[in-house]
Amino acid sequence: MQLYFSPLPESIEMIRAGKVRALAVTTAARAAALPELPTVADTVAGFEASTWQGIGAPKNTPAEIVERLNREINAALVDPKITGASCRIGSVPRPMSPADFKNHIAAETDKWAKVIRAANIKPN
């Protein structure tokens, strides 16, 4: 139902402190928290890889409950306090509908399945 794209939270403080030299972000767009960093796609056309977190509900959850959860969580994600704190650490809140979230999961599954097949990655 919800989505956060999180390109930098794990490393942003080390980058800001000069302990790590960042070369680029892997997201499709530059990170607002470090706008001077280019994207990998600036050099490798079409490259995009990002982490994200979402909130879902069990498959048979009644639609009215899913809609209410979606509405309330999306309202929190656009709250200036949440948005500001998220952006400072390099996360980007992305409120979306349950249908959009379902489509995002399907697209990510397809994208990474192709990578796994192309690289012949096998489970350990």
pLDDT tens by residue, 60-117: 999 999 999 999 999 999 999 988 888 877 788 889 999 999 999 999 999 999 999 9
Residue among 24, 15, 33 at smallest CA distance from 85: 33
The pLDDT of residue 112: 95
Interval 9-19 mean pLDDT: 82
- Pairing relationship of beta strands 52-53 and 92-95 according to DSSP bridges: unpaired
pLDDT digits (tens, 9 = 90+) for 43-57: 999 999 988 889 999
Percent of the chain with pLDDT over 70: 92
Rounded to an integer, what distance in angstroms lies between the CA atom of residue 74 and that of residue 55?
11
Q: What is the pLDDT of residue 6?
A: 52
> What's the confidence (pLDDT) of residue 2?
45
Please spell the DSSP secondary structure of the chain, one letter per residue. -EEEE-SSTTTHHHHHTTSS----B-SSS--TTSTTSPBGGGTSTT-----EE-----TT--HHHHHHHHHHHHHHHTSHHHHHHHHHTT-EEEE--HHHHHHHHHHHHHHHHHHHHHTT----
pLDDT at 27: 87
